[in-house]
Amino acid sequence: MDNDINKAMFDSQKALAKAMNVLSELPPLKDCSLNADVVLTIDKMRLLHFKTSGRGKQPPLIICYALVNRPTILDLAPERSLVQDLRAKGRDVYLIDWGYPDLCDRHLGLDDYIGDYLDSIVQCVINRSGFNQIDLMGICQGGVFSLAYASLNQDRVRKLVTLVTPVDTYVEGFTLSEMVRETDIAQLVSAYGNLPGEFLNQIYAALKPLQLGVVKELGLSRSIKDSTSAELFLRMEQWINDSPDLAGRAATEFAETFFKGNGLLTGSFYVDSNAVNLKTIRSPILNIFGAKDHLVPSASSQALKAAIHPETPYQELSLPAGHIGAFISNRCRGTVIDAIEAHLSQ
């Protein structure tokens, strides 16, 4: 036992020394994310256009990310970018950057984000592109927004992709949903104004307190073994800690309507007084989710199949990955890009 501990300690110290060496030589991280044209600005929202390298023969793709965390994860580094991969396939990609809400934005609700911003974005892209429809990809909460928008604006959405998107909030093991349902979000919003990004990060970390906390910290030196792995690790950490606040009213409405009310399935999700009904969606859907997703259990995403009209073309893709790994890991990104390309090209 002593020898084992001795060896383990020595290995740990070697790894630490290596990590220190790497950090001592690593230059500061260059900002290489989201370098694109800003084609529309409304309040703090910006619409970014990643122009296709070829002639766009198919409708443009709008990517709708969640309000929590930043969409920089989709364009993390040149060699780790879902957006650039899609561009390389000839897609004309637009990415929504919701911005950093401050206290003046605390009264923005779901009607504003979906009924105003998303609707204006779609209209803008239609006007610019010359197509009368767009393809829409929603990620996580952005997928919920996309489903809601598609159900109310059938004529504008040609094809739909949902990525790690929660649909049924009452599936077993949906710990985040259980947490939200038991918490008085309205009271928290009264206290804070907006839900602080740091607070949200703590909630996510609390879902796996040790693996995302102490265990990760203890394994830190193994994540920094050379300049490439160090740079990727530091970019991920930068993204994790770059969490915008969540506009107060939107937070309350999403918690009440979606998490507590299971709005997408019970018909209690409204946008501008119009009820969202998933059965009205006729756009072919590709639903991608991670089998090891602890934030949004795969069963929650898979519930989409039974919720839509049986005649709506539907495919699903299960990946051996977690919530973020599903679209950022090298192991899965290729599969995801191929599946999206095949779906949009059909």
Does the protein bind another protein through residue 5 (CB under 8 A)?
yes
Taking the mean position of all CA atoms in its chain, how far away is CA 291? 16
Does the protein bind another protein through residue 213 (CB under 8 A)?
yes
User: Which among 82-90, 208-216, 257-265, 314-322 is the span making contact with another protein, rule CB under 8 A?
Assistant: 208-216
In the stretch 52-91, what mask flags binding to another protein with x, by CB under 8 A?
----------------------------------------
Distance CA 341, CA 254 (A): 31
CB 317 within 8 A of CB 287: yes
User: Which among 22-30, 45-53, 67-75, 285-293 is the span making contact with another protein, rule CB under 8 A?
Assistant: 22-30
Among 38, 218, 306, 342, binds another protein (CB under 8 A): 218
Among 37, 79, 184, 226, binds another protein (CB under 8 A): 184
Compare residues 97 and 231 and give the one whose CB is closer to another protein: 231
CB 323 within 8 A of CB 294: yes
**Least distance to another protein from the beta carbon of 83, Å?**
27
**Least distance to another protein from the beta carbon of 278, Å?**
27
3-class DSSP state for residue 138?
Answer: strand
CB 220 within 8 A of CB 272: no
Non-local (6+) Cβ contacts of 341 within 8 A are 86, 89, 91
Does the protein bind another protein through residue 27 (CB under 8 A)?
yes
Does the protein bind another protein through residue 154 (CB under 8 A)?
no
Residue 140 known to be catalytic:
yes
Distance CA 295, CA 287 (A): 16
Residue 288 has φ and ψ, to the nearest 5°, of: -110, 135
User: Which among 66-74, 140-148, 215-223, 317-325 is the span making contact with another protein, rule CB under 8 A?
Assistant: 215-223
In the chain, alpha helices (H):
2-25, 82-88, 110, 119-129, 141-152, 175-182, 185-192, 197-206, 215-218, 220-223, 227-241, 248-253, 263-266, 298-302, 304-307, 325-328, 330-345
So which residues are the catalytic ones?
Answer: 140
* Residues of this chain that bind another protein (CB under 8 A): 1-2, 4-6, 8-10, 12-14, 16-17, 19-21, 23-28, 42-43, 103-104, 106-107, 116, 120, 172-173, 175, 178-179, 182-184, 187-188, 190-192, 199, 202, 206-211, 213-215, 217-222, 224, 234, 294
